[in-house]
Amino acid sequence: MTISIGNDHAGTDYKKAITKHLTSKGIQVKNYGTDTNDSVDYPDFVHPVANDVVQETSTFGILICGSANGVAMTANKHQKIRAGVCWTKEITELTRQHNNANICCIPARFTALQQAIQIVDAFLNTEFEGGRHQNRINKIPISC
């Protein structure tokens, strides 16, 4: 499994801890995030993660910023991306089960670090239920 991860300045410490956690499990991680706390523009780090997921060079993506809203909005501009804001384990599981999310967006300013790691584990270990949910997923993309 390969995970692409990206973050802005609010998510640097979380990205480092999540990357360490994932690599300790033998998961390959592609780092597209900043490694400092200096202010940056989150879209610069979102697009490479989304591109990896769309091109299937990564299994999933993880994005981290202060609220997770900006990174989710940016990622969801990409066709084939279903990025969900995940702030609890339960929301994360539903995001995978019902929405087949392929990018997990974590709000660093509203989750504890250990909670963020639990969110990542829930995201990676929860399967999409399919069935009636697949019909809804099929209606998400629009043609222009």
* Dist CA 61 CA 7 (whole Å): 11
Q: Are 119 and 111 within 8 A, CB to CB? A: yes
Residue 114 in tokens: 């250990």
In the chain, what are the helix, strand and coil shares in percent, each to the nearest 5? Answer: 45, 15, 40
- Does 105 participate in catalysis according to the annotation? no
Q: In the block, which residue shows the tokens 């929301």?
A: 91
- Does 98 participate in catalysis according to the annotation? yes
Catalytic choice (65, 86, 104, 105): 65
Catalytic choice (47, 78, 98, 133): 98
Q: Are 140 and 102 within 8 A, CB to CB? A: no
Q: In the block, which residue shows the tokens 């990174």?
A: 71
Active site residue ranges: 65, 98
